[in-house]
Amino acid sequence: MSARFTRRDLFRSVPGGIAGAALASLLAAESRAEAPAPFTDLKPRKPHFPAKARAVVHLFQNGGPSQMDLFDPKPELDKHHGQSYADKLAGEIEFVQSAGAIMRSPFKFAKHGRCGASVSDAMPHLATVVDEIAFIRSMHTTSITHEPAVYMIQSGKITPGRPTVGAWVTYGLGSENQNLPAYVVLDDPKGLPVNGVENWQAGFLPPQFQGTRFRSTGSPVLNLKPDAERPAAVAQAERDLLSQLDLMHKRDRPDQPALDARIASYELAARMQLAATDALDISKEPQRVQEMYGIGRGPTDSYGRRCLIARRLIERGVRFVQLYINSHIWDTHNNIATELKAACDRTDQPTAALLRDLKQRGLLDSTLVIWGGEFGRLPIAQLPADKDERKAGRDHNKNAFCTWMAGGGVKPGLTYGATDELGLKAVEDRVSVRDWHATILHLLGMNHEQLFIEQHGLKEKLTGVEEAHVVKGVLA
Amino acid sequence: MRCTHLPLCALSLLVCGAALAADPPAPSFQKDVRPLLEAKCVRCHGEKVKKADLDLGTLVGVLKGGESGPAVVAGKPDKSPLYEKVHKGEMPPAKKDALTAAEVETLRKWIADGAKMPAGSVGGGITQHDVIPIMLRHCTACHGRHKQEAGLDLRTPAAMLRGGKSGPAIVAGQPAESLVVQRVSAGAMPPPKRLVEACVKPVEKSELETLTKWIAAGAPVVDVQPDVATTTPDTLVTDKDRDFWAFRPPQPVKVPAVRDASRVRNPIDAFVLAKLEAKGLTFSPEADRVTLLRRAYFDLTGLPPEPAEVKAFLEDTSPNAYEKLIDRLLASPRYGERWARYWLDLAGYADSEGKREQDLPRPHAWRYRDYVIRSFNADKPYDRFLMEQLAGDELADYRGAKEITPELYDNLVATGFLRMTPDATWANITGFVPDRIEVMADQIDVLGSAVLGLTMKCARCHSHKFDPIPHRDYYRLVAVFKGALDEYDWLKPEIRPGIGPESVDVAPPRLLSFVTAAERKAWEAQKTAGGKAPEPKIQAMWDRGEPSPTYIYRRGDYLMPGALVGPGVPSVLTDGKTPFEIRPPWPGAKQTGRRLAFAKWVTRPDHPLTARVMVNRLWRHHFGTGIVPTLANFGRTGVPPTHPELLDWLAREFQDPTPQPPPPRGEGEKNPRDPITGKDAREATPTFTPLPSGKGAGGLGSSPWSLKRLHKLIMTSTTYRQSSAINPDAKKLDPANALYSRAPLVRLDAEALYDSLLFVAGKLDETRGGPADAVQVRKDGLVTPAGTAKGWRRLVYVQQTRKQPATHAETFDFPQMNPNCIERRDSTVAPQALHLMNNGMVEQLAGEFAKRVRRDAGGYPARQVEAVYVLALSRAPTAEEKKLGVEALERLADAWEKQLTGEGVRDAAERKALATYCHAVMNSAAFLYVD
C-alpha cells in the first residue's frame, strides 16, 4: 500500500456515527467518480507494469490429476501401504463406503533434466522438458466436489456467475489481433468439461470478454460456415446486398453508434471466417511438426491438434487460449494404474511438444503456459464394490494438488512448496487458488488489486475480498 | 503484518525491548485492560450502541466478539482484531480517543499472554445458544423434527435432558457422564459412515469443547429473546440514514410548469419537458404512424404487426386510434408472453437445477412460467402478484380446502418465485448446510434485487459498507423465510432415485402434488385408461410451522453463529420503532405467518421502494434506461434518479391512480379541455390528461397497482411518441439521451428476434403454455429448438437449461441465470452476424418466408420486393429500395442459375434468389432495430 492515505483507509477508520451518513454518501459518490468506466472493447491495453508474458495458454486438466502419481513422489506411501487411514479423513471423502487403506503409487519416479525435477514414468515426454517448468506442489482449494472446485479454479469462487481468469485477462489487456477473438477456447469435440460453457463465461464483465469456442475439427466456430452451402457468387451478391441495405438504413439514421458497431460486427464476422480458417488450418504445418505433436496417431491426435492450434493462435496475437479434454479424464476413482496412464497417453506428448515448439520459435518467453486441474487426490485407495485392490483408484482431495507453470516470467526448473509425508495436505509454502490467480495476473503485468470492475457498489476482483498473495518464489 | 505507522511501530519495538529487559508481570484484564476499553471503546461498542455487534463493556462481550468474529484470539495479537485495529490506528476512529503506545502495548501483552480472564468468568459466557447450533449442524438430521432415532431429540436443552432410549443425553455439571459427550468424543456420533448420507460434517474439537464446557457449567439456559425491532429506537440505523431519498416513501410532487404546454399529453411529459427546456431543448417531433405502430407492437407483444393490422391502423382516422391500438395490444395474450419474460429473468427462471454436471431437469418449473404469463395477461395487481409469490401458501388454507381451485393453485405455484435459483442440494455431496445456505443467499439476492432494489447480499457477511443495512437486518430477513427455507430442515429439490441417494433426512422434496381439481381428475382418468403421464406436481415453497432458530452468521460463516435474531425487515425502510407484527394467517394455522407479514409490509402503500422499483423497471423496458439507471440498486452506491419527481409521481400514480375521468378525448383535438373545470388544459399548470376508459378491450380501469394502466400512461405520452432521430441540438446537449430528448433506437432482444423470424416466415406456432419444448444438441454444440408439427413456439416456451441454452438465445445475450438477471446487456459481436448469416434454421426460415412472399406476389420481382417489405418491415419499399431489390433478385437469380442444371432452371434459380433476398432482409439492420 502506498504511503498516501487512500479513501479506503479513511473509510475503515470512519465506521459511520456522528458524521457517518453524510460522509458515507460523500465517499460513495467519490467511489463512483473514482471508478473508471469499464472497458468494452478489445483494443490492446498496457498492463499495470511491464511484464514478460503477453499471452496465456491454459491447459486445463479437469478431474483432479493425482499428484502422488505424477509429480509429487511419496516413499512413505510404499512404507505404509495397506494401513488403514480412512477414519482420519471423515468428511473429506466423497465416497465414504469405498474408502480403502493407504495405497502406494503404481508408477515409478525418477529425477529429470538439469533441475532434477521428479516426474513419474506416466509422463515420459514431459520429463524431457522439466527444465522449462516450475512445479507447484503445495496448491490447495476449498471443495471436494467437481463443480464448485472447477468454478473456484476458473473464477475464484465456488459458485457460478463470476468472470473466469481468461475473461479477466482479456478484460485487462485487450487483444493484439482484431481479426480473431481475444479469448479462444479449444474444447474437445468429444464433449464439454464439468460446468460446460460456464468455464469461459464473462460473468459480470461485458460479454465480449467471454471465451469463444473454436472446434479443432470441422468448422471451428459455431455457424462460421453456412449450414447450407451457397455458391460463392450468391454469397458475395448477398453480402453486397446486405451492406447496401445497411448503409441506406444508416444514412437515414445519422449519429447512431449502435449501427456502426453492427456493420463492424458483420465485417469482423467476414474477416473471422478467413482468419479463423487460416489459424486452424494445421495442414500448413510441416509433417515433422505434426508428428512432434502426435497428430495422426491414435491417442494423441485430438489433443495434439489443439496444442498445435494453440501455438498458431498465440503466434497470431490471441491473448488467452484455453485447452480442454472431454469430460474429466483425470478423475481416476478406479483403476488408477490404467486410467491415469490413459489420460497421460492422450496428453503427455502434445503438451511437451507445445513447450518445445514455443521455445524453438522464441515464443515461450512471452507466453505463460499453465497446467493443472481443480483439486488433487487422496493417499488412500478407493475400492470398487467388490473391494478388488487391483482395480483401486483415488478419491478427491482439496488439501493438496500439484500444478505447473512455464514460460514468460516463470522461474524455470523449479519445484515449489511441499505436501506432508503422505501427500494429503500442502504444508510448506502453501498456495491457495487466490494466490495462484494473483500470480498469473502478476506474470502478465497486472496487480490483482487493481484489476476490478464496479458491480452493485463493490469492486469485484478475480481474487475476491480475501487476501491473495503473488507467489514470489515462482517468479524468475 | 505490515507497518503503516512507522513511528508507532518503532515505539512499540522500543517498548518491547524494554519489556524484555525488565520482564514485568503480564497485564490483568480487570486492572489494566478493562479500564482502557471502558474509556476508549464502549461508547460505540457497549451494551447500548453495540456497533458491529461488538460489546466490549462486559467479559462475555469481549469473549464473544462482534459480527466479524472473535475480537481476541488468545496468544495471538496479530490475529486479534482488537489489537490489530488499535495498533494500525484504525480504531478508535476519533483522534482524541487514540490509545497511547503504552496502552497499545498493554493490550498486546495481555493477548500474547493468553488473554486471561478473571477466574470463574471463562465458560461463564457459554449458553444454550452456543450449543444449539452445534446440535443443528451435527445431530438433528437424525435426532430432530423428522426423525428421533433412539427416541432422542436434540433440538432444545429440555429435550436433551429428557434424552432418549439410552437415557438423558446430558447430565448438567457432569460432561463425563453425559452420553452426548461420550458418543461424540468416542467418534461414534455422528456415525462416520453416514456423514455424507446425512449431509453432516464431523464434530470439530472446538465444538466438543464448547459442548463440554456448557455441560460442565451446569448446562445454563439463559432467557435470550430473539433480536427483533421493538419500540425502543434502533441504534444501528439512525433517522439520518432514513432520510436518504430512496428510503423515504415516494413524495407528493407538483407537476412542473413548462413553456410549450402543447406538447404535454400527460404529467410524464411535463416532468420530462421541464428538464429539456431547462437545457434549451424540447421534444423531438412525433414519430410517424408506422414507426409508432411497430414500436408499440414490439414493446408490448414482442412481435411485428401483420400487414392487415398495419392497414387497419393507418386507415383508422379516429382521434383515439392510437389509444385503441394500445388497448388492443394490452389485451393480446402475446403481451403476457413478452412481459413475463422480464420477470422470469428477475426470478432466475430455468428448466434445470444448474450447478452440477448433470444439470438435472426441473420438469415442473414451467407451471411457474405459465403463472407469470397468466398474471401479466390478467393484469393482476402488482401488490397481489407479489403477495402470491412471497406468501401464497399463507394467503389461504390450501391444505384444509375441500377443492383445489384455480386461485389456490395459483397461490401455491406463485411461491416457485424463490425456488428458481440454481440448486444442487438434491445430491448429498452438494447438499450440506453451507450448500443450502448458498441457495438461501441466492434467494434473498433475488428478493433484494428484483423486489426491493437493494443490494442486500452485502449484509450477509458484514454490515453493508455503503447502505444502512446492518448485518442483523440480513438475518432478520433470513428468519422471515425460515419457516420454508431452513438450512437445518431442508426441503430437497427432488428425491431422484439412482442419482441423489435418498437422504436420511426424511423431509419430503419441495414438490407438491397440488394442481387444480380439474387437472388432477384429467390425469387420474388418463392413468386409469393406461396413460403414463407423470403425476402433475408444482415446485413450491411452503411454511412448515417449526423454523429452527436464526443466528447471525458472523462473516457469513455458519460455523460462527452470533446473536439470535427474529424475523424483521430492513430497519432503514421502517420508522425504526414499530415492531414487525406477525400473526397466524388464520386461526389455528400451522404456518408461522412470517412471510405473509413480510408480503403485507412490502405492498404497503407507503413502502419506499416497491412501487418505485417496479415503475422504474417498466420505464427501462420502454425507454432503454431506468430513471434510476441501476435497476437493482436504489441505495447510496446506485446512480441517483435522473428525474426524481417523475419517479415519485409515477410510483404514486401506480399505487393510487387518479380517478377515472369521463369519456375520452382525442389526441387530435386542438384544445383539450380539462374534464372537470372545462378550462383549456394547456393553460396554467398542466394537469393530467385523462386516459380513455379502458374497461373492455384492455381491461383497464383505475385499479391500483395495474401494470397495464401504467404501460398505457407511458405509451400515450409525448415522451414515448417521439421520433428516434437525433437532431443537432440534442446531439450536443443530450448526447446520451439522459433527458429523453428522443426515443431510443433499440435492437430486438433474443426473444423478439427469434419470435419475429418465425412470425415473418409464417412458422410461429402460437400454442400457449405447458411443458417446455425440447432442444436438439448437435455434435458441435449447436443447440436448436426442436420445433412442433406447426413450426416452432415462442422462445419463452423453449426449454432453457442452465448448461445448454439455445444457441440463438445465447448469441443474442440471453443471460446466464446465476442466480438471476437484473438487466440484460446488449452486445454487438461477430458471432451474431455469423449466426444470422450461416445458421441452418435461419436459412430454413428465409426459405419459408420466400414461399409466403411468392404466394402473395407470384413471380413478379417488383411485387415480391413490396411483399417482403410489408411483411418484414410493415411498410412499402421506397423507390430506391425497390430498385435495389429488383436488381438484387436478378443478380441473385443469375448467380444461382449458373449452379443449377436440368429443366426449369430459371424458375428454380428465381425461387432460390427470392429466398436469398429474404435471408438478407432478415439479416438487415432494418429488421433487427426498432426506431
Would you say residue B426 lies in a domain? yes
pLDDT at B23: 59
Q: Fill in the DSSP letter of residue B451.
A: I
Would you say residue A88 lies in a domain? yes
**Amino acid (1-letter code) at residue B738:** A
Q: Fill in the DSSP letter of residue B549.
A: P
Of B455, B818, B924, the CB nearest to A246: B924
Asked if A13 lies within 8 A of B898 by C-beta distance, the reply is no
Q: Enumerate the residues of chain B whose CB falls inside 8 A of the CB of residue A88.
A: none
C-alpha cell at A140: 490447495
- DSSP for B808-862, written as a single string: HHHHTTPPP-SS--SS------HHHHHHHHH-HHHHHHHHHHHHHHHHHHTT-HH
Q: Enumerate the residues of chain B whose CB falls inside 8 A of the CB of residue A7.
A: none
Same structural domain for residues B69 and B194? no
Asked if A147 lies within 8 A of B843 by C-beta distance, the reply is no
**Residue A179, beta-bridge partner list:** none
Instruction: Report the distance separating Cα B478 and Cα B485, nearest Å.
Output: 8
Rg, chain B, Cα only: 33
Would you say residue A243 lies in a domain? no
* CA B891 to centroid of chain Cα atoms: 52
Would you say residue B341 lies in a domain? no
Would you say residue A192 lies in a domain? yes
Using the CB atoms, write b or e for B651-679: b if 16+ within 10 Å: bbbbbebeebbeebbebeeeebebbeeee
Would you say residue B302 lies in a domain? yes
Instruction: Report the distance separating Cα A412 and Cα A399, nearest Å.
Output: 25
Same structural domain for residues B628 and B719? yes
Same structural domain for residues B159 and B97? no
Boundary-marking domain end, from B186, B216, B246 = B216
Same structural domain for residues B822 and B871? no
Instruction: Report the distance separating Cα B819 and Cα B280, nearest Å.
Output: 44
Would you say residue A212 lies in a domain? yes
Total count of domains within chain A = 1
Asked if A218 lies within 8 A of B780 by C-beta distance, the reply is yes
Same structural domain for residues B133 and B94? no
Same structural domain for residues B393 and B456? yes
C-alpha cell at A8: 479506503
- DSSP for B686-710, written as a single string: ---PPPPPBTTTT-B-S-TT-HHHH
Instruction: Report the distance separating Cα B568 and Cα B473, nearest Å.
Output: 7
- DSSP for B723-752, written as a single string: --PPPHHHHHH-TT-TT-SSPPPEE--HHH
B438 touches chain A (CB under 8 A): yes
Total count of domains within chain B = 6
pLDDT at B119: 63
C-alpha cell at B201: 460434517
Calculated CA dihedral for residues B740, B650, B694, B265, nearest 10 degrees: -40
Would you say residue B352 lies in a domain? no
pLDDT at B533: 85
Extract the residue ranges of chain B whose pLDDT is less than 50.
1-21, 122, 500-505, 662-699
A-chain residue closest to B193, CA distance: A96
pLDDT at B693: 36
Write the CA distances from A70 to A65, A109, A341, A392, B704, integer angstroms. Answer: 8, 8, 10, 17, 69
Give the best residue of B238, B848, B924 to mutate against chain A (max A CB count within 10 A): B924
C-alpha cell at B629: 439507471
Boundary-marking domain end, from B82, B112, B142 = B112
The boundaries of the domain holding residue B179 are: 128-216
The boundaries of the domain holding residue A181 are: 33-220+280-474
Using the CB atoms, write b or e for A220-233: b if 16+ within 10 Å: bbbbbebeeebeee
Asked if A11 lies within 8 A of B839 by C-beta distance, the reply is no
Q: Enumerate the residues of chain B whose CB falls inside 8 A of the CB of residue A259.
A: 745, 925, 929
CATH of residue A79 = 3.40.720
List, as ranges, residues 242-261 from A with C-beta within 8 Å of B.
242, 244-246, 248-250, 253-256, 258-259, 261
Instruction: Report the distance separating Cα B108 and Cα B77, nearest Å.
Output: 6
C-alpha cell at B745: 433506437
pLDDT at A217: 60
Would you say residue A1 lies in a domain? no
* CA B50 to centroid of chain Cα atoms: 31
Same structural domain for residues B598 and B621? no
- pLDDT tens digit at each of 476 positions of chain A: 333 434 333 333 333 333 333 334 444 443 444 456 778 788 899 999 999 999 999 999 999 999 999 999 999 999 999 998 877 787 777 777 788 899 999 999 999 999 999 999 999 999 999 999 999 999 999 988 888 899 999 999 987 779 999 999 999 999 998 889 899 999 887 777 888 778 998 888 876 788 888 866 656 677 888 888 888 899 999 999 999 999 999 999 998 878 887 888 898 888 888 888 889 889 999 999 999 999 999 899 999 999 999 999 999 999 999 999 987 899 999 899 999 999 999 999 999 999 999 999 999 999 999 999 999 999 999 987 777 888 899 999 999 999 999 999 999 999 999 999 999 999 999 999 999 999 999 999 999 999 999 876 678 999 998 899 999 999 99
Of B359, B632, B828, the CB nearest to A258: B828
Would you say residue B252 lies in a domain? no
Would you say residue A333 lies in a domain? yes
Of B244, B837, B888, the CB nearest to A237: B888
Q: Enumerate the residues of chain B whose CB falls inside 8 A of the CB of residue A458.
A: 455, 458
Closest CA to B572 of B129, B240, B135: B240
Q: Fill in the DSSP letter of residue A369.
A: E
Same structural domain for residues B491 and B428? yes
Same structural domain for residues B105 and B163? no
Asked if A269 lies within 8 A of B830 by C-beta distance, the reply is yes
Same structural domain for residues B493 and B627? no
Q: How many CB atoms lie within 10 A of CB B30?
A: 12
Same structural domain for residues B414 and B537? yes
Would you say residue B327 lies in a domain? yes
Same structural domain for residues B85 and B169? no
Complex confidence, ipTM:
0.83
**Residue B564, beta-bridge partner list:** B551
pLDDT at A456: 62
Would you say residue A141 lies in a domain? yes
Instruction: Report the distance separating Cα A324 and Cα A308, nearest Å.
Output: 13
Write the CA distances from B900 to A241, A273, B907, B912, integer angstroms. Answer: 22, 26, 11, 11
pLDDT at A469: 97
Cα of B283 to nearest chain A Cα, Å? 18
Q: Enumerate the residues of chain A whose CB falls inside 8 A of the CB of residue B238.
A: 20-21
A-chain residue closest to B89, CA distance: A13
Cα of B222 to nearest chain A Cα, Å? 31
Number of Cβ pairs < 8 A linking chain A and chain B: 243
Cα of A460 to nearest chain B Cα, Å? 12
Contact between B511 and B538 under an 8 Å Cβ cutoff? The reply is: yes
pLDDT at B670: 44
Q: Could you tell me which residues come within 8 angstroms of residue A76 by beta carbon, excluding any fewer than 6 positions away?
A: A421, A422
Q: Enumerate the residues of chain A whose CB falls inside 8 A of the CB of residue B781.
A: 187, 192, 213, 215, 222
**Residue A376, beta-bridge partner list:** A397
Closest CA to B200 of B419, B474, B448, B488: B488
Write the CA distances from B706 to A40, B221, B580, B700, integer angstroms. Answer: 38, 52, 27, 8
Would you say residue B691 lies in a domain? yes
Boundary-marking domain end, from B183, B216, B249 = B216
Cα of B198 to nearest chain A Cα, Å? 11
Give the best residue of A84, A151, A230 to mutate against chain B (max B CB count within 10 A): A230
Asked if A13 lies within 8 A of B929 by C-beta distance, the reply is no
Would you say residue A382 lies in a domain? yes
List, as ranges, residues 140-169 from A with C-beta within 8 Å of B.
144-148, 159-161
Asked if B833 lies within 8 A of A265 by C-beta distance, the reply is yes
A-chain residue closest to B5, CA distance: A3
C-alpha cell at A442: 502478476
Cα of B925 to nearest chain A Cα, Å? 6
Would you say residue B243 lies in a domain? no
Asked if B202 lies within 8 A of A269 by C-beta distance, the reply is no
Q: Fill in the DSSP letter of residue B455.
A: -
